[in-house]
A and B are shown apart, each in its own frame.
Chain A
Amino acid sequence: MSHDHSLNPETMPEDPAKATLEGKNKFFGLWFFLGGETVLFASLFGTFLALRNSTAGGPSGEDIFGLELVFLMTMLLLTSSLTSVYAMYHMKNNDFKKMQLWLGITAFLGIGFLGCEIYEFYHYITDFGFTFRSSAFGSAFYTLVGFHGGHVVFGISWLIALMVRNAKRGLNLYNAPKFNTFSLYWHFIDVVWVFIFTVVYLMGKVG
């Protein structure tokens, strides 16, 4: 049982993220957490679906949603999912520089997504007077999409903290699990977004 965490490229374990007990724990812990998150978002989706027609005379989804922006946001987030896969690919090949590069692109795409979302909310509030308080639909919309946005903010902060902290010391068995759990979390955010663009925007547009 060795607890030496340094990583030699020549003796690279097959999957550095799960080579230690700590790594395995993190891996399972994060997956179980995602199981709980599934229910968390299901509760929010359920609330949204129950209240999607409760516009109280205010604007409905059909009135305000613009598909172009949502499509752009979707592309940004889907691509960021792929870039984090690339980062994990380079982690398995023990290429730290390339991993950091792809993670950087991931963060960049995530920030782009967030910028679009802020613009979107701003647009609804100023141009349509559609706020968190206008109707039960408004409350449910901003809560669901906002919770997802909050997860994106948390994910980006997490990623930046990881990248900055480990910038100078390269990959080892201590931080590989951390990068891996981040990437799983990031994919899950993408999963939630797939349902948001389908259920909230596309189904909202269909009526």
Chain B
Amino acid sequence: MSIAAAQKRGFGAFLWDYLTTVDHKKIAHLYLVGGGFFFILGGLEALFIRIQLIAPENDFISAGLYNEMFTMHGTTMIFLAAMPLLLGLMNAVMPLQIGARDVAFPFLNSLGFWLFMFGGILLNCSWFLGGAPDAGWTAYTPLSAVSPTHGVDFYVLGLQISGAGTLMGGINFLATIVTMRAPGMTYMRMPLFTWTTFVTSTLILFAFPALTVGLFLLMFDRMFGSAFFDVALGGNSIIWQHLFWIFAHPEVYILILPVFGVFSEVIPTFSKKRLFGYTSMVFATMLIAFLGFMVWAHHMFTVGLGPVANAIFAIATMAIAVPTGIKIFNWLATMWGGSITINSAMLWSLGFIPSFTIGGMTGIMLASAVADYQYHDSYFVVAHFHYVIVGGVVFGLFAGLHYWWPKMFGRILNEKLGKIGFWLFFIGFHLTFFIQHFLGLMGMPRRYWVFLEDQGLDTGNLVSTIGTFLMAISATIFLINIIYTSVKGEKASADPFDGRSLEWAISSPPPYYNFKQLPLVRGLDPLWVEKMDGKDNLAPAEPLGDIHMPNSSILPFIISFGFFIAGFGFIYQTDHQAWNFAIFIGMGIALGSMLMRSLKDDHGYHISKAELEREAD
């Protein structure tokens, strides 16, 4: 692909371009589209749940379908919506922030996306093939080991495939940050979003293998007759709970740390001040990641691990409040005395601070093992984790999307629609979830299909459902905003927000090679450093020369498709042996394509110096 290919092309060529792309910016688009699709799907599932609970003893959906709804809502939102959207932002921004031309392994980057996408599709195929998984997003054994439909099988295979993709993404980002920083970009000059990407990738690296093993064990039990969770043959269900939470607790930090990074970019930019306490922010991020690995058993306080284990995990959990508190105060201090611009990105950040702090406070309440016996499995827990996941991650995603939209797509999102959307969502969010704290304290258990009349739960549930609709309207407004912007939106300059970091030093959207010449970084907030010196851009660190670029490839798509086919084979071979062929064919396609990839040399291509010179600056 050369510059000539960037001319107007037909839809087929456009599609082919995206199917084969290894460009981190285009893969970011794919992640945002894929994650956005599943976000809508998960949102619809949430709506169904809340409509069912709008009134006592409602019969909008059946009990079985309700189980499938809340299972898929949780699974979809965590694995298929929040994570891919975050990976999308990381892909779009992190390489630009460190002054790199792409990620370390462009091919793997593409493979990671397609594995996620096919895993997500496989999981959602279950809706049409005899029922979705219905054992909760935590899929606790023995329930998940004996659940009669193929639902849990889809859960196991879908997550296994998409999880492999995420792991690749994590390793890729780590290698990129270690080897591909621009000259002068030392570790302690990296923007906070890059730092959180780095730490998050470490968490992905160490947390996902536990899930991989857990899923394998469950798969073997369900499909190949092993006995890990079969008590009659000496198995033990608690193994699943440990493996799952050893993964899933770091997973919530995998979700929250990147958005901490987003806020640490948005707040300084719109306060016109450097981030307060940069060093403490970096170390707080690491400390959260470190502690995040030692607290998983707080999800298991009522299992009966014993008072010693419970006490250890309770104290470790409370300790996490310290680095998180450091971050909250640093953001507040960044704004203190700053010249603050209130726009959509900043509104989401401002809304985040109180919302997330409430979620953090209830977290400390839940961390107390004795009190947890009361809260456990009640709506109090539901309220808590929605305050941190929605009030933290979703707010952060919206802030990040508003902030980086011009950089990613070249147009600025409409401010008016953005602000209306924020207020609707903010009010809807608190309406939905604040009341759930009290529903929980009054004894409403989570995951129940119906509740009875006149137990003091009616009004609370009604209010909660109304709030959900406000959030749904807000999400719709955001979609309208996207369409409006892409048709009529204001074209963005290279630096529409008077930014501080490297991504604002190149055009919006950036050229496919990102930096014509790698920039020379002279300090933290490199672009701001130059602006303060009266220059409008960074000095180049190298003379203009040929740029080495990776070739596009369709193989990632084919490999993922192979695993997708094999997934069906694994699921259905328990019904009929003939399905073993699907395993062989699928694995054959996947492994064959991998072999092809390793046997065929791929040296990439060069953009010549002459070609670069011809291009207008």
A and B touching (Cβ–Cβ under 8 A): yes
Which residues of A are at the interface with B, using a C-beta cutoff of 8 A? 1, 3, 5, 21, 24-25, 28-29, 32-33, 35-37, 39-40, 43-44, 46-47, 50-51, 53-56, 132-140, 143, 158, 161-162, 165, 174
Residue of B nearest to A45 (CB): B213
Assess the B216–A143 pair: CB atoms within 8 A.
yes
Q: Which of B344-352, B357-365, B422-430, B593-601 contacts A (4 or more CB under 8 A)?
A: B593-601
Q: What string of 1s and 0s marks CB contacts (under 8 Å) between B161-176 and chain A?
A: 0000001000110111
Assess the B209–A137 pair: CB atoms within 8 A.
no
Of A1, A29, A43, A46, which contacts B175 at CB under 8 A?
A29
Q: Which of B134-142, B218-226, B458-466 contacts A (4 or more CB under 8 A)?
A: B218-226
B253 to chain A, nearest CB (A): 15
Given A139-B220, A139-B227: A50 in contact with B179 (beta carbons within 8 A): no
Assess the B212–A40 pair: CB atoms within 8 A.
yes
Of A32, A136, A143, A161, which contacts B205 at CB under 8 A?
A32
Assess the B603–A174 pair: CB atoms within 8 A.
yes
Q: Which of B183-191, B235-243, B298-306, B318-326 contacts A (4 or more CB under 8 A)?
A: B235-243
Assess the A56–B233 pair: CB atoms within 8 A.
yes
- Between A and B, 6 residue pairs with Cβ closer than 8 Å are A28-B175, A36-B209, A39-B206, A53-B234, A140-B228, A165-B598
Residue of A nearest to B599 (CB): A165
How far apart sit A121 and B268, CA to CA, in the bound complex (Å)?
A: 61
Residue of B nearest to A44 (CB): B213
Assess the B234–A51 pair: CB atoms within 8 A.
yes
Given A1-B548, A174-B603: A51 in contact with B171 (beta carbons within 8 A): no
Residue of B nearest to A43 (CB): B213
Among all A-B residue pairs, the 3 with the closest Cβ atoms: A54-B234, A40-B209, A139-B226
How far apart sit A138 and B233, CA to CA, in the bound complex (Å)?
A: 10
Assess the A51–B235 pair: CB atoms within 8 A.
yes
Q: Which residues of B contact A165 (CB under 8 A)?
A: 598-599
How far apart sit A44 and B210, CA to CA, in the bound complex (Å)?
A: 9
Apart from A32-B171, A139-B235, A140-B228: 20 A-B pairs, beta carbons within 8 A = A3-B603, A29-B171, A29-B174, A32-B205, A35-B206, A36-B171, A36-B205, A37-B209, A39-B210, A43-B212, A43-B246, A46-B239, A47-B213, A47-B217, A53-B234, A133-B227, A136-B234, A139-B220, A139-B227, A143-B217
How far apart sit A165 and B600, CA to CA, in the bound complex (Å)?
A: 9
Given A5-B603, A36-B208, A161-B599: A50 in contact with B227 (beta carbons within 8 A): no
How far apart sit A25 and B228, CA to CA, in the bound complex (Å)?
A: 38
How far apart sit A22 and B179, CA to CA, in the bound complex (Å)?
A: 10
- Among B560-605, those with CB < 8 Å from A are 595, 598-599, 601, 603
Interface presence of B230 (CB below 8 A): yes
Q: Which residues of A contact B282 (CB under 8 A)?
A: none
Assess the B105–A25 pair: CB atoms within 8 A.
yes
How far apart sit A138 and B598, CA to CA, in the bound complex (Å)?
A: 36
Q: Which residues of B contact A162 (CB under 8 A)?
A: 598
Interface presence of B545 (CB below 8 A): yes
- Among B176-206, those with CB < 8 Å from A are 176, 178-180, 205-206
A189 to chain B, nearest CB (A): 16
B174 to chain A, nearest CB (A): 5
Interface presence of B104 (CB below 8 A): yes
Q: Which residues of B contact A46 (CB under 8 A)?
A: 239, 242
Interface presence of B258 (CB below 8 A): no
Assess the B175–A51 pair: CB atoms within 8 A.
no
Interface presence of B214 (CB below 8 A): yes
Given A5-B603, A50-B239: A136 in contact with B227 (beta carbons within 8 A): yes
Q: Which residues of A contact B175 (CB under 8 A)?
A: 25, 28-29, 32
How far apart sit A174 and B600, CA to CA, in the bound complex (Å)?
A: 12
Of A28, A39, A40, A143, which contacts B178 at CB under 8 A?
A28
Interface presence of B606 (CB below 8 A): yes
B194 to chain A, nearest CB (A): 16
A69 to chain B, nearest CB (A): 24
How far apart sit A46 and B217, CA to CA, in the bound complex (Å)?
A: 12
How far apart sit A106 and B548, CA to CA, in the bound complex (Å)?
A: 35
Q: Which residues of A contact B227 (CB under 8 A)?
A: 56, 133, 135-136, 138-139
B166 to chain A, nearest CB (A): 11
Given A1-B548, A36-B167: A135 in contact with B234 (beta carbons within 8 A): yes
Assess the B220–A29 pair: CB atoms within 8 A.
no
Of A25, A36, A135, A138, which contacts B206 at CB under 8 A?
A36
Interface presence of B232 (CB below 8 A): yes
**Which of B172, B180, B230, B235 has the most chain A CB within a 10 Å cutoff?**
B235
Assess the B236–A51 pair: CB atoms within 8 A.
yes
Residue of A nearest to B228 (CB): A139
Residue of B nearest to A165 (CB): B599
Q: Which residues of B contact A47 (CB under 8 A)?
A: 213, 217, 228, 239, 243
A118 to chain B, nearest CB (A): 18
Assess the A29–B226 pair: CB atoms within 8 A.
no
B143 to chain A, nearest CB (A): 18
How far apart sit A39 and B213, CA to CA, in the bound complex (Å)?
A: 9
Q: Which residues of A contact B234 (CB under 8 A)?
A: 51, 53-56, 135-137
Residue of A nearest to B217 (CB): A47
How far apart sit A150 and B599, CA to CA, in the bound complex (Å)?
A: 21
Assess the B246–A35 pair: CB atoms within 8 A.
no
Assess the A54–B235 pair: CB atoms within 8 A.
yes
Q: Which residues of B contact A56 (CB under 8 A)?
A: 227, 232-234
Q: Which residues of B contact A39 (CB under 8 A)?
A: 206-207, 209-210
Q: Which residues of A contact B213 (CB under 8 A)?
A: 40, 43-44, 47
**Which of A24, A32, A135 has the most chain B CB within a 10 Å cutoff?**
A32
A159 to chain B, nearest CB (A): 11
**Which of A33, A47, A137 has the most chain B CB within a 10 Å cutoff?**
A47
Of A29, A43, A132, which contacts B104 at CB under 8 A?
A29
Assess the B236–A50 pair: CB atoms within 8 A.
yes
Of B180, B217, B239, which contacts A21 at CB under 8 A?
B180
B544 to chain A, nearest CB (A): 12
How far apart sit A134 and B228, CA to CA, in the bound complex (Å)?
A: 11
B141 to chain A, nearest CB (A): 12
How far apart sit A90 and B68, CA to CA, in the bound complex (Å)?
A: 59
**Which of A1, A35, A51, A139 has the most chain B CB within a 10 Å cutoff?**
A139
Residue of B nearest to A21 (CB): B179
Assess the B243–A43 pair: CB atoms within 8 A.
yes
How far apart sit A157 and B174, CA to CA, in the bound complex (Å)?
A: 27
Of B172, B242, B246, which contacts A29 at CB under 8 A?
B172
How far apart sit A82 and B200, CA to CA, in the bound complex (Å)?
A: 36
Assess the A28–B174 pair: CB atoms within 8 A.
yes
Assess the A136–B236 pair: CB atoms within 8 A.
yes
Assess the B224–A132 pair: CB atoms within 8 A.
yes
**Which of B221, B227, B606 has the most chain A CB within a 10 Å cutoff?**
B227
Given A135-B233, A143-B220, A174-B601: A29 in contact with B105 (beta carbons within 8 A): yes
How far apart sit A165 and B599, CA to CA, in the bound complex (Å)?
A: 6
How far apart sit A44 and B225, CA to CA, in the bound complex (Å)?
A: 18
How far apart sit A143 and B226, CA to CA, in the bound complex (Å)?
A: 10
A135 to chain B, nearest CB (A): 5
How far apart sit A143 and B227, CA to CA, in the bound complex (Å)?
A: 11
B201 to chain A, nearest CB (A): 8
A21 to chain B, nearest CB (A): 7
- Among B313-333, those with CB < 8 Å from A are none
A156 to chain B, nearest CB (A): 14
